[in-house]
Structure 1
Amino acid sequence: MAAQKKGKGRANPNEPTIENRRARHDYQILETLECGIRLTGTEVKSIRRGQASLGEGYVRATDQPIALTLYGVHVAEYPPAGPNRQHEPTRARPLLAHRRQIKKLADKSRDRGMTLVPLKMYFLNGKVKLLIGVGHGKRKADKRQDLARKEAKRDIDRAMSRRR
């Protein structure tokens, strides 16, 4: 048997990836950070089924005490577990990151207009990971400019593919 490669783990293609599609549309993401998330067993099983929503979620970083917490994310109940072993679907979930990373995020989130947004939830080596983005909200004009830029790029790509 071949030894497993060290370094970054691989995501299993059979595991679901839950994305917050609105985040990149509503926010200009300046920086990202991958962190772990503390979950119960039924939450992990529900996420493995793809029954979670990051749409309403946001992250808070605090200095005193040093903590990173995920709010507003809905993880559906796991019916096979039974009624007395269920988790609360929208509870606050602690995130796992290094102390200096949390302090850095707390400093950035204190800046005017900066927000911590959950971008993606996925499995890495059997553990649930959360990708957090640091960004600020886009105005309507910014969104229009982005759409116009994407449209122009699509037109250019179409024209280039016709020439081949």
Structure 2
Amino acid sequence: MANNKKDNKRLEFKNKKAFHDYFILDQFEAGIVLEGSEVKAIREGRVNLKDSFVRIIKGEVYLLNTHISHLSTTHATYRPDERRDRKLLLHKKEIGKLYEKVTKDGITLIALKMYFNSKNIVKVKIATAQGKKLHDKREDLKRKTMLRETQQALKNY
């Protein structure tokens, strides 16, 4: 008899560009409102968080510009827009904290990753972030390459 249990590897989609372009200050976990076959599309890995960002509109938090592709099996009339605005679920106190921080100069909200938690619910990790200057990005790249080279040298030694 075949075992139909799914393996416990967690699906996780990261916004790698966010760590390159921003200093991450605070992180929050939020639920997300999805429609139709979007959860199945996320399970298949059809998510792109690269250009996504978060905005607070009329006291509610929205994830904008996130691309969740259609499944080929989804009927054409039930397909939601791939880049539609998706509402994030947070407590009022958390939204207040976020709004307070975002009103300061140079601080923005970005989506870091989307994943399934232990209860198999889609969650989004969002963060308050401050933009990096060009020289900061160069310093990070130098530090990463130096670390990679030292690890390689230790491995070969």
TM-score, normalised to structure 1's length?
0.84
Residue-by-residue CA offset, 1:103-133 (whole Å, 9 max, x unaligned): 1011111111111110100111111000112
In the TM superposition, structure 1's runs of 4+ consecutive aligned residues that sit over 6 Å from their partners are none
Q: Which residue of 2 aligns with 1:95?
A: 88
Aligned letter for 2:26?
E
Q: 1:158, CA displacement in angstroms?
A: 3.5
Q: Which residue of 1 aligns with 2:144?
A: 150
Aligned letter for 1:43?
E
Q: 1:16, CA displacement in angstroms?
A: 2.6
TM-score, normalised to structure 2's length?
0.88
Q: Which residue of 2 aligns with 1:111?
A: 104
Supply the RMSD in Å over aligned alpha carbons: 1.7
In percent, how many aligned pairs have the same letter?
37
Match of 2:122 among 121, 128, 134: 128
Q: 1:159, CA displacement in angstroms?
A: 4.1
- Structure 1 unaligned residues grouped into runs of 5+: 1-10
**SS of equivalent to 1:79:** coil
- Structure 2 unaligned residues grouped into runs of 5+: 1-6
Q: How many residues align?
A: 150
Contact 1:12 1:123 in 2 (8 A): no
